[in-house]
Structures are given as C-alpha cells and as structure tokens.
Amino acid sequence: MKRTTLLIAVIVFAMFAITLTIGGVNADAADKVFRLKIQSAYPRGDLSMELLKDFASTANKMSKGRIKITVFADPELVPAEQLFEATQKGTLDMLHAVAAMWGGIIPVGEVEFGLPYAYNLPGEPDVFTSGQMIRDLFFETGYVDLLRGEYAKQGLYWLDVHSYGPIFTMATKKITTCDDMKGLKFRVEGSWADYYNALGARGTYISGMEAYMGLKLGTIDASQWDVSAVTGLNWQEVAPYRLLGGQNDVVVGQILFNMKSWDALPDDLKKVMTAAAEDYFNKLLKIYDGELKKVEELVKAGTVINSPIDDACDRMHEEAALQLWDKIGQRDPAAAKAIGIIKDWRKTLK
C-alpha cells in the first residue's frame, strides 16, 4: 500500500514538473525576441531602400516587439553582388534586390525580374493597377510556388514581390522607329542586352551610378533604370528623351529570407513577416506614384521629352522578346515553366 501511494506521488510530481516545463517553453517562445538583419542592393537615398525602415517598423509593431529588424544599405555589410551568398550563409537574414542579379545561379530569377516585354501591359495602367496585375500573376497562377521551390534549393525562402514602377529608358537622341535605334549603345540589365542586340542596337552594362557620365560623354546612348533615373539621378540633364514602347510597366523586386532564419520563426511571426511584406508592397506603390507625378510635371515643362516608338517598331520588340524567351526557357526547366505561366497569363490580358 505504501509503495502504491509512493508511486502515485512520484507520477503526480512528474506530471506537474512536465507541465511546468512545457509551460515554461511556451512562455519562452512567446516572449523571445527575434533580431533580424536585412540589406538592400541599393544605397542610402534609394526610395525602396529607405522604405525598408517602415517595413521593419511594421513588423515590430505587428509582432508587439518580438521582431526587431536592422536595415542596411549597399554596401554597409556586404557588396551588392555578395548579397545572395551572404543570405545563404546566414550573415544576413534577408536581402532586398532584383532577381536578375542571381540569374546565373537561379535561371528562373531572370524570368522573375521581368524578361523584355513580359510585363508590358495593355493600355496605360497606373502604377497601382500595374502593380496589382503583377501581384495577381505571382500569387494566383502558381508562380510563387515555383519560385519558392527553386529558392528553397538554395537555402532561401522567397517572401514577397514588390514593384519599382515602370522601366525608364532615357536616351540622348529621339527614338521613334527601330531604324533610329540601330548602332546605339543601351546600358541595360541581364537579358535586355540580348533583346536590344536583336533589334540592331548594342546592349551593354556599366554601373547605374556611372550612367550619367556615360550618357554625358557618349560612352552610352541610352540607359535603363526606374523612375529615379529622373527624380533621383537626373539623367534627363544629359539624356532628355524617355523611350516609350517595348518596355515593361513594372520592375519587379523581391525579399528573400535565409531558410534557417525563416524556419526559426513561430507560425504567428511568419504571418507577421508575410503581412509586413505585403504592406511594404502597397506603400512602395504610393511612393512611386508620387515620383511618376513629378515626371509628368517635367514632361509639361519640356525637361523630359516622351519618345514613343511607332507600331511597327513595337511589333519588332515583341517578336524579339518572344524569341529571347524561347532561348532562356532552354536554360532550365523551372525557367521554361515560369515562361509558360507568363505566356498563359498574358493571353488573359488581351
């Protein structure tokens, strides 16, 4: 009898101890503060980089202080070209950039960023409409699942997409036909060099920070960027013509997470990070809408001169793009699948 009583007491005590332990673990998990680092591929002063401070603040507020994100600009922790590797290794928890920077590692990244003409949208959608159209493409067609699968192979979690507004290609000369483009040197990113080569121009690459002087000295005749080419970098001073047609209406950016850092977050904080990233997407559109309105005023003042290409040249752009898509699709099964998704999506836009 005494042994039975003693055994019961031991069991009760053990159960009580386990309950305390589990409760303590849960309490610790609920109270733990996750300190994360994110670096942008862009320097201080870049609009999208500066808004990352708001992204960090939103995550902190929504998590009730359990997420604290420190924001860095290029090249404060690592140079932009090392962001991918640094995030893989966990030196950074997150990166903020465009996927074309890793196109040689993940071919589908080149597609994600925006192959020539892929995000060329019908009509003249404003920055909010075009941004939402691209978001719908990513989240309603299976595109995100494909991307997350490919980045997971590299130890990364694809968190979200955002838009920098339309591509801006500023030129030193007026361009209205494809003949006008022949022989001109276009500073572009990734596959866009092959695109312009196919149209008779010469695609090349130099740093965006060197483009102003290149345009001024004639080293290049045109250069590609986003709206900050005008509102931040003042390229219109040396290249006043804005090429219209054959461009993309959205420049796509991304936020990537180190997979171990992502997996370490409790489910409720993963939801917080997802919500904060979507909030960043929406707020960034508002900022770029304001910047585009500034360009409209510069056009009225004659400081920026719109230079639309004719219909024949636009058709040539589309044909060159489709041929390029086929070539890029041959690099990798995931890239081919992504291009197929985009082709099907574009049919719904007609």
Measured CA to CA in angstroms, residue 62 lies from 36, 161, 272, 273, 287 at distances of 15, 20, 6, 9, 22
Residues 6+ apart with CB under 8 A from 151: 106, 157, 158, 256
**Cα–Cα distance for residue pair 297/303, rounded to 1 Å:** 9
What local confidence, expressed as pLDDT, does residue 29 receive? 56
Bridge-based pairing of strands 252-258 and 94-97 is: antiparallel
Confidence of residue 15 (pLDDT cuts 50, 70, 90): very low
Confidence of residue 146 (pLDDT cuts 50, 70, 90): very high
What local confidence, expressed as pLDDT, does residue 188 receive? 92
Residue entry with tokens 């099907």: 344
Q: Is 349 within the bounds of a domain?
A: no
What local confidence, expressed as pLDDT, does residue 28 receive? 54
pLDDT greater than 90 at residue 18: no
The tokens of 271 are what? 């939801």
Measured CA to CA in angstroms, residue 171 lies from 235, 244, 274 at distances of 9, 11, 39
One domain, residues 74 and 84: yes
Q: Is 347 within the bounds of a domain?
A: no
Q: Give percent of the chain with pLDDT exceeding 90.
A: 83
What local confidence, expressed as pLDDT, does residue 246 receive? 94
One domain, residues 85 and 234: no
Domain that holds residue 272: 34-164+250-295
Q: Is 1 within the bounds of a domain?
A: no
One domain, residues 258 and 312: no
Residues 6+ apart with CB under 8 A from 334: 106, 107, 108, 146, 149, 150
Q: Is 27 within the bounds of a domain?
A: no
Question: CA 96, 100, 101, 107: dihedral to nearest 10 degrees?
Answer: 120
What local confidence, expressed as pLDDT, does residue 11 receive? 44
CATH number for position 201: 3.40.190.170
One domain, residues 40 and 139: yes
pLDDT greater than 50 at residue 10: no
Torsion-angle region of 200 (φ positive above 0: left; ψ -120 to 50: alpha; else: beta): left
Average pLDDT, whole number, for the chain?
91
What local confidence, expressed as pLDDT, does residue 22 receive? 44
One domain, residues 198 and 327: yes
Q: Is 5 within the bounds of a domain?
A: no
Minimum mean pLDDT range among 28-37, 108-117, 219-228: 28-37
Helix, strand, coil percentages in the chain from 3-state DSSP, rounded to 5: 55, 15, 30
Domain total of the chain: 2
3-state secondary structure of 51: helix
Q: Is 98 within the bounds of a domain?
A: yes
Q: Is 111 within the bounds of a domain?
A: yes
Q: Mean pLDDT across the stretch 177-195?
A: 94
Q: How far is CA 46 from the centre of its chain?
A: 14
pLDDT greater than 50 at residue 100: yes
What local confidence, expressed as pLDDT, does residue 207 receive? 80
One domain, residues 195 and 325: yes
One domain, residues 175 and 49: no
Q: Mean pLDDT across the stretch 45-62?
A: 94
Q: Is 68 within the bounds of a domain?
A: yes
